[in-house]
């Protein structure tokens, strides 16, 4: 549990630093409702398809007493990836590119 707390604080510190640097530039831009709706819809469809598939696949690889643990693990990883998408992926998808 101690390692998880340290990792969570590192992720939180990185997210805070990132949002602090992007705060003024992101506030000046206007959001497009159609783009936002499409990203949210496609993200939800992918999660609804992927979560049960991965959870049941990995649950089939372990003993019966560990199935709940594996399903919980898959759900927790999906939650972390969703937060990472909100922090990094969304701005990469809709930012001007930053000279890329």
Determine contact, residues 75/55, Cβ cutoff 8 Å.
yes
- Among 35, 58, 47, CA closest to 85: 47
Q: Is 53 exposed, middle or buried (0-12, 13-18, 19+ CB in 10 A)?
A: exposed
Taking only the tens of pLDDT, the chain with its 100 residues reads 456 555 665 555 555 656 555 554 554 467 788 888 998 899 889 888 888 898 989 999 999 999 999 999 999 998 898 888 888 887 887 777 665 5
Dist. CA 13–CA 72, nearest whole Å: 25
Whether the model pTM is above 0.85: no
Q: How confident is the model at residue 24, as a pLDDT?
A: 46
Sign of the CA dihedral running 60, 65, 66, 67: positive
For the chain, what are the domain ranges? 1-30, 31-100
Measured in degrees and rounded to the nearest 5, phi and psi for residue 63 equal: -70, 160
């Amino acid at each position: 549990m101690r390692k998880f707390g340290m990792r969570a604080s590192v992720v939180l510190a990185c997210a805070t630093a990132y949002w602090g640097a992007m705060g003024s530039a992101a506030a000046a831009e206007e959001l497009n409702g159609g783009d936002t709706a499409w990203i949210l819809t496609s993200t939800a469809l992918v999660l609804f398809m992927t979560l049960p598939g991965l959870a049941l696949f990995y649950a089939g690889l372990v003993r019966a007493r560990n199935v709940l643990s594996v399903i919980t693990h898959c759900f927790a990883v999906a939650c972390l990836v969703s937060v990472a998408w909100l922090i990094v992926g969304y701005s990469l998808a809709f930012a001007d590119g930053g000279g890329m």
